[in-house]
A and B are shown apart, each in its own frame.
Chain A
Amino acid sequence: MRVKLEVNGVTHEREVEPRTLLVYFLREELGLTGTNVGCDTTSCGACTVLMDGESVKSCTVLAAQADGRSITTIEGLAEGEELHPMQRAFREHHGLQCGYCTPGMVMAAVSLVTESPDLDETHVREGLEGNLCRCTGYHNIVAAVLDAARSSREGAW
């Protein structure tokens, strides 16, 4: 079947098998390997991307379900050399170690802060419950997201 998706602002049209999962469409068809596959069972959140601005686990969405929609991956966040405020906050607060969970974590955090910029620590921890990190212990991730949320409230996004 033919699908047409806008990914990071660019429209891509491709012939795919209906069973093609969005994450493999992004990684293998479009070469956007920033989105990782961790568990492949909808548990870890490493594959999180934005679909029409909302976080989804792309290992559990068909490319066919994303047909006609707008997808943002980690590659689409920065403006040229200028990191997105969420990426900057992760770097400043040391919110990553091996980095495997980071693309999904950042996308989930962007969706969370966009939905509710006024969040506190509990809200951040609960809002990221769909994303697992085996390295950091989450502490610095939470600090980064709270800082980025502050900058979003101040109008920096």
Chain B
Amino acid sequence: MIPASFDYVRPGSLDEAVSALAEHGDEAKLLAGGHSLLPLMKLRLATPSVLVDIGRLGELSYVNDAGDHLAIGALTRHHDLHHDPVAMHHAPLLSFVAGRIGDPQVRHRGTIGGSIAHADPASDLPAAVLALGGTLVARGPGGDREIPADRFFQGFLESALTPEEVLTEIRVPKATAGHAYQKFVRRAQDWAIVGSVVARVDGRVGVALVNVGPTPVRADAVETALAGGASAAEAAELAAEGLEPPADNNATPEFRRHLARVLTARALAEAGL
């Protein structure tokens, strides 16, 4: 399968990438690791006329200790995030989740920025960043903008980014008090049929769910119950509240609701709650 024709540009810097997007408008697509976009292009479900390849912008590949939070460059590959000592130390949840994505070949190419910008509700890192209460930083023609993770995921494969913006950095609070990711799959290498992420941050518990609707979602009812003193088992019973999960070959909506409750109970227990 061969993608439809396109023009290829490879900007040498972030600023050049922003200019290239401004010049080509929504005809253009950024290419990071290509492990979501190229499969779609091969199936001709995506047919951008210009690809702006930012895959080599080393300036956007880093994991930095920024005092109270961790700053991760958008082009940090899953493989690097998984093995990064600073990430393992200050955001062990993210580094663990990065290691659960796809397979080694996918992790050698895919990036955290691509994963977040793609806004696939079945992806792992978006839910992890939601549970942590992270912030996304985007650079557009007008400069930098910070977007709270809670407002970033707007619909199926739809994010708060405009076509002229590049996601540059992912910021998450340091969180070492306990975490878990329960990812339910039938086969190795697959996306989650449902997943539940728990992060303990500054005395607060963040819970987010994978693949139970058009976007990754916070399990608000679970978080509120825990904050109000409910036990983990009681809180987990509320995990499916308000969800309208999709039906597909892997699961009915009812099975997904069941998985949301069971996986959340397991994740809370694993996180020491």
Q: Which of B16-24, B103-111, B131-139 contacts A (4 or more CB under 8 A)?
A: B103-111
Q: Write out the residue numbers on chain B whose beta carbons fall within 8 Å of the beta carbon of A61.
A: 34, 38, 109
Tell me whether B108 and A55 are in contact (CB under 8 A).
yes
Of B10, B42, B108, the most chain A CB neighbours within 10 A belong to: B108
CA distance A21 to B42 in the complex (A): 10
Encoded as 1 (CB less than 8 Å from any A CB) or 0, chain B from 107 to 126 comes to 01100000000000000000
Interface residues on chain B, size class? 20 to 34
CA distance A54 to B83 in the complex (A): 14
Please state if B55 and A42 are interface contacts (CB–CB under 8 Å): no
Assembled-state Cα–Cα distance A129/B2 (Å): 25
> Is the CB–CB distance between B35 and A54 below 8 Å?
no
- Is A48 positioned at the interface, with any CB of B under 8 Å from its CB? yes
Residues of A within 8 A of B106 (CB): 42, 57, 130
Which residues from chain B contact A60 at a C-beta distance below 8 Å?
34-35, 38-39, 42, 109
User: Of B10, B105, B188, which is within 8 A of A108 by CB?
Assistant: B105
Residue of A with least CB distance to B189: A129
Cβ of A38 within 8 Å of any chain B Cβ, yes or no, is no
Q: Is B53 an interface residue (CB 8 A)?
A: yes
Are A62 and B105 in contact (CB-based, < 8 A)?
no
Residues of A within 8 A of B102 (CB): 130
Residues of A within 8 A of B (CB): 1, 17-19, 21, 24, 40-43, 45, 48, 51, 54-57, 59-62, 64-65, 108, 111-112, 126-127, 129-131
Q: A19-B41, A111-B108, A130-B105 are in contact. List 19 more A-B contacts (CB 8 A).
A: A17-B5, A21-B2, A24-B2, A42-B106, A43-B189, A56-B108, A57-B106, A57-B109, A60-B38, A61-B38, A61-B109, A62-B8, A64-B10, A65-B53, A126-B188, A127-B104, A129-B188, A130-B103, A130-B106
